[in-house]
Structure 1
């Protein structure tokens, strides 16, 4: 990700040697916003290839990164993850070098590339993979000993709201209050990734695979944020990126959320782990809250860069307004749903019951429609409560 700490070739060579790797060259990785990362070419690599990713964790303490290594080993073999190499000069199993009170890891490169756009099939697969992650990590108990503490976003909220226009501050407050009003105690929790954006995944995106719709997941990356959280929050975070098309600057940085992709994601997820009714009801608010969290994260990065005097071409800053707009989109659906029902109607006169179901959210109506087999026999209509139709 962005390069904040500068290292010399001699330092790279020394660190890599401790992992049993012969260093040739370090190539900065400038995507992302939190840690310093480089691709490592070894003396055995040819034609400019690179075999490893070298990460210096700028904020997380080394103890947290050791926990991350255990988590990756737990997932290894069930999901495409890169487990950190162990030190060859340590009598005990150790995956972290400590440098300037920061952690360094070296992991094998995974095949594949980051998707510029996602498809419904990709959303289905990442949904299934996230469910496998949730189920597999339940074996690490007590979960709190493996997850890092959740970031105190309420403190960032209180700081940033002082500088926001009134309408933005109200949007953030309304979403936060709606989240607080959820029956949070009834929602299942466990170890969650909490940063499963498309740029933290790898896929075999060769031209032939893309044309045939056969792109498959080859890598899950960046497990630095694994924490104990509600599963539905992890679902919302992943949906928000995988199911949104982010327009480039020359396209006006548009934010276009695709509900059909979300339906595919949820189908994939529930093929491995079924959602509870409370989780389904909470999802619309969680989508808005997840967007708020990443709105705050990007504002926090800007604040942190300013206070630390971080500048230069290697520093990447993502636009917080994109997440603000996504939060507003989701919140508009939450507000509308509070006064709206969604009716699943049969349009095939051979079906005995013309009304197949009445739902409080479009997501539940779409999922039910898809589960009925021939969804073309049904339509979804929305009605406002307390009004004539």
Structure 2
């Protein structure tokens, strides 16, 4: 979420005329993230988020928008895409594909406790089950084929030790992908990027945290549930300094997930490898975004070293069992 494309107030007001949402009261760019242009938009009939898609094609975008619509209709707290007067969820602004979604209450919690992690684990399991009857078929665009394609592009920027680590882990993941365990993993459309900054919380009357909702589905794709779970715990349940797991947070998140949906035997067997796969995916993407950036008004590249540490930690120590 960054501002790559500047939209003036007059341009936005004209675009909004195709919606039945009332007068434009205000808007502002959202500076965090690195993929799309995003604005908060306040209208007479509510608060929304406008996204202009900088990389995704109009052919890919219905998958994401219809997935959010599907999950919202199944009671999942997530942005609900808004149709214009002609029933379209996707249109064009500044020659870019553009969509408007509802804005959720709350804010991200970058220092979550076990109670926050439990809410995330429950929500993730419910999302997986809700997606079972979603018919979209777009693969995870940051999955294994992208890792294979991207590795040669980032290798020139790495040290000898880093190159060896990257090559070895990629080979491990390629072998796993060809095996029987990977073939047995349940999969649907998954979020694939459920980091702390993609979940909002507010507060219940008794002061306990309450889930506001899950945002930013634009890395979603069809992948295994256990990979999606591994992505989540690798961000929510770690000691930031070294990438080790915080045992209390991990137990809370996995316990809440299992209370809704019990992982299969294949998922339990795949768990250590999927934790490594999830770390590899984000180490690679952060290397790519750091060393091969695009110009933008507001961009905050994230540190690849964090996921290098997490990958090394997952390779060097046994993970807690999934089941």
Tell me the TM-score normalized by structure 2.
Answer: 0.90
Does the alignment pair 1:55 with 2:51? yes
Does the alignment pair 1:134 with 2:128? yes
Q: What is the match of residue 64 of structure 2?
A: 68
Does the alignment pair 1:243 with 2:237? yes
Which of 82, 86, 90 in structure 2 is aligned with 1:85?
A: 82
Q: For 1:1-389, what aligned pairs fall within 5 Å after superposition?
A: 1-21=1-21, 22-42=23-43, 44=44, 51-76=47-72, 77-88=74-85, 90=86, 93-141=87-135, 143-144=136-137, 149-150=141-142, 152-182=146-176, 183-205=181-203, 209=207, 214-246=208-240, 255=243, 257-305=245-293, 308=294, 310=295, 312=297, 314-333=298-317, 337=318, 362-363=320-321
Q: What is the match of residue 345 of structure 1?
A: none
Instruction: Report if aligned partners of 1:26, 1:39 keep a CA contact under 8 Å in 2.
Output: yes
Higher Cα Rg, which structure: 1
Which SS does the other structure have where 2:209 is aligned?
coil
Aligned-CA RMSD value: 2.2
| Deviation, structure 1 residue 134 | 1.1
2: CA distance between counterparts of 1:289 and 1:150?
11
| Deviation, structure 1 residue 302 | 2.4
Instruction: Report if aligned partners of 2:193, 2:231 keep a CA contact under 8 Å in 1.
Output: yes
Tell me the TM-score normalized by structure 1.
Answer: 0.75
2: CA distance between counterparts of 1:298 and 1:311?
16
Structure 1 alignment gaps of length 5 or more: 248-253, 338-360, 368-389
Instruction: Report if aligned partners of 1:19, 1:106 keep a CA contact under 8 Å in 2.
Output: no
Instruction: Report if aligned partners of 1:5, 1:36 keep a CA contact under 8 Å in 2.
Output: yes
Instruction: Report if aligned partners of 1:61, 1:101 keep a CA contact under 8 Å in 2.
Output: no
| Deviation, structure 1 residue 256 | 5.1
Instruction: Report if aligned partners of 1:12, 1:26 keep a CA contact under 8 Å in 2.
Output: no
Instruction: Report if aligned partners of 2:282, 2:307 keep a CA contact under 8 Å in 1.
Output: yes
1: CA distance between counterparts of 2:120 and 2:61?
24
Moved over 6 A (4+): none
| Deviation, structure 1 residue 150 | 4.5
1: CA distance between counterparts of 2:104 and 2:57?
25
2: CA distance between counterparts of 1:128 and 1:285?
23
Greater RCO structure (CA 8 Å; 6+ sep): 2
Structure 2 alignment gaps of length 5 or more: none
Q: Tell me whether 149-158 or 76-85 shows the greater mean CA deviation.
A: 149-158
2: CA distance between counterparts of 1:40 and 1:186?
44
1: CA distance between counterparts of 2:196 and 2:69?
22
Deviations 1:144-187 (A, max 9, x none): 1x556445121111221233112112222222233233331122
1: CA distance between counterparts of 2:203 and 2:164?
42
Which SS does the other structure have where 1:257 is aligned?
coil
Which SS does the other structure have where 1:67 is aligned?
helix
Which SS does the other structure have where 1:51 is aligned?
strand
